[in-house]
Amino acid sequence: MSDSLLIEDISYLVLADSDQTVLENAWVWIENGFIKDLGSGEVPEDAGDAPKLSGQGKIATPGLVNTHHHFYQNMARAYTPGNNLPLLPWLERMNKLWKRFREDDLQVCTQLGIAELMMSGATTIADHHYVFTEGSTDMTLHQFKAASKMGVRLHASRGSMNQKSDLISDWALQDEDTILADTESLIQTQHDNSPGSYRQVIVAPCAATSCTKSLLEASAALAKKFRVGLHTHCGETVAENDFSIEHFKARPLAYLLDCGWDYDKAWLAHGIHFNDEELSLLSHYGIGVAHCPNANMRLGSGICRVPELIESDVKVGIGVDGSASNDSGHILGELRQALYLARVKYGAESMSALDAIELGAWRAARMMGRDDIGELAVGKCGDLALFPINDLYANAAENPVDALLICHPRQVSDLVVGGSIRIKDGAFTHLDIVELMSEHRQRAERVRSSAF
């Protein structure tokens, strides 16, 4: 597949730069996977030989970046026993499903989840997988295989659980040595930190409630040793605060800091219930927050203080999360929810459509330690999402760019990753989506039928 491309006649080009520039009648020239030049008006003559894609009647944004997800859960979405529960009882129900879940199931879940996210504009995705069932092997390698087939950039957060509790069965736990050895081996064999990287490894214990202190400490030390990302859930519910104070004699963030999580490549999923002092600590240590508005609303967990995080110079990016607490992986829809949830708490002037796009663009990229994606500029990766202006749900919108968020979320017409066209005219260029959906349904049925 070619990695050079000229996207011409783009009606609106959202650069997602610090000035929130939007160019009209624009073009982007990609060579060898990276942006060689871009602008509005006339295309440079020497770009004439590159393969072309028309941007007429389209709004182009940087390929969107998702900082938190759980692909495996897309086999349990809208699962009746968990549909009306808060986090902990919901988790208890979910955890009964996965005893027979294996690496080939995860590969299919990963492909399907990536397909959903691509169709809604994503080109870089962090998935957090922490259920390593007894008898399974190479879970993370199967995720990388899926991402490579789909052609997106995957940050695989190698999750872990090693703490016995009422919520988790023994077959879902691994011992600390196994977890650390596998994670280190993945870093050494898979992690690529070069510009334009398609695969990165994140050290990612599931949560302080499902991991021992020793594992949390060793995970932070491992991430720091190799300068890779560090990730977990934190600050999601009031019940988590209470549990932490009762069992660890500290609030969740203080406990993590005590475990050595004072690290500028760490980011925490949810971060709803942080107080002012904790916002200062996050800013001081450079720790980020993955904001997951749909899951937070679905589970009734609360509202993340996104405008205040930004004001306090805390890194924050969008997390689509789920897929059984969302229960869909639509990243543009997630940005719309972030926009509206912020307005519920802080008023209609607190966030604009372009501010919301930033959460899925440079802000998300920066939080994941990447300066080569999330913005359209010379030298950045040639990753773009193109959305049709003339969509039924946005028809006749006076401001097509604002309409991208303010009107009902739509799908992309085209998606480009590293200069390669992965979706064209609303269809995957390299994937039989009907066949994938059918296989996914069959496997999901088997997984649900083995619940106990």
| Contact residues: Zn ion, CB under 5 A | 269, 321
Identity of residue 403? A
Report in angstroms the alpha-carbon separations of 296 from 121, 180, 299, 309: 22, 30, 5, 17
CB of 327 to Zn ion, least distance (A): 13
CB of 376 to Zn ion, least distance (A): 29
Q: Measured from the CB atom, is 208 or 354 closer to Zn ion?
A: 208
CB of 113 to Zn ion, least distance (A): 13
CB of 236 to Zn ion, least distance (A): 8
CB of 28 to Zn ion, least distance (A): 33
CB of 425 to Zn ion, least distance (A): 34
Neighbours of 392 (CB within 10 A): 9
| Cα(140)–Cα(181) distance, integer angstroms | 13
User: In 47-136, at which residue ranges do the beta strands (DSSP E only) sit?
Assistant: 52-54, 58-62, 64-66, 122-129
CB of 73 to Zn ion, least distance (A): 9
Q: Measured from the CB atom, is 204 or 269 closer to Zn ion?
A: 269
Question: Which stretch of DSSP H or E encloses residue 218?
Answer: helix 213-226
Q: Measured from the CB atom, is 79 or 387 closer to Zn ion?
A: 79
Strands 34-40 and 22-31: antiparallel
User: In 279-391, at which residue ranges do the beta strands (DSSP E only) sit?
Assistant: 288-291, 316-318, 384-388
Q: Measured from the CB atom, is 53 or 290 closer to Zn ion?
A: 290
CB of 336 to Zn ion, least distance (A): 20
CA 45 from centre of chain: 38
Q: H helices within 166-272, ranges in order? A: 176-190, 213-226, 238-248, 252-258
CB of 227 to Zn ion, least distance (A): 24
Q: Measured from the CB atom, is 106 or 421 closer to Zn ion?
A: 106
Exposure b/e, 51-64, CB count within 10 A at least 16 = b: eebebeebbbbbbb
Q: H helices within 227-291, ranges in order? A: 238-248, 252-258, 276-285
DSSP code of 1? -
Q: Measured from the CB atom, is 271 or 409 closer to Zn ion?
A: 271
As a 3-state breakdown, the chain gives helix, strand, coil percent values, each rounded to 5, of 40, 20, 40
Cβ(282)–Cβ(251) under 8 Å? no
Q: Measured from the CB atom, is 269 or 318 closer to Zn ion?
A: 269
| Cα(66)–Cα(149) distance, integer angstroms | 18
CB of 399 to Zn ion, least distance (A): 34
Nearest to 363, CA basis, from 393, 338, 387? 338
Q: Measured from the CB atom, is 131 or 385 closer to Zn ion?
A: 131
Q: Measured from the CB atom, is 292 or 376 closer to Zn ion?
A: 292
Cβ(357)–Cβ(405) under 8 Å? yes
Return the SS3 of 324. Answer: coil
Neighbours of 105 (CB within 10 A): 23
Residues, the chain: 452
Cβ(13)–Cβ(376) under 8 Å? yes
Q: Measured from the CB atom, is 64 or 87 closer to Zn ion?
A: 87
CB of 87 to Zn ion, least distance (A): 10
Q: Measured from the CB atom, is 70 or 380 closer to Zn ion?
A: 70
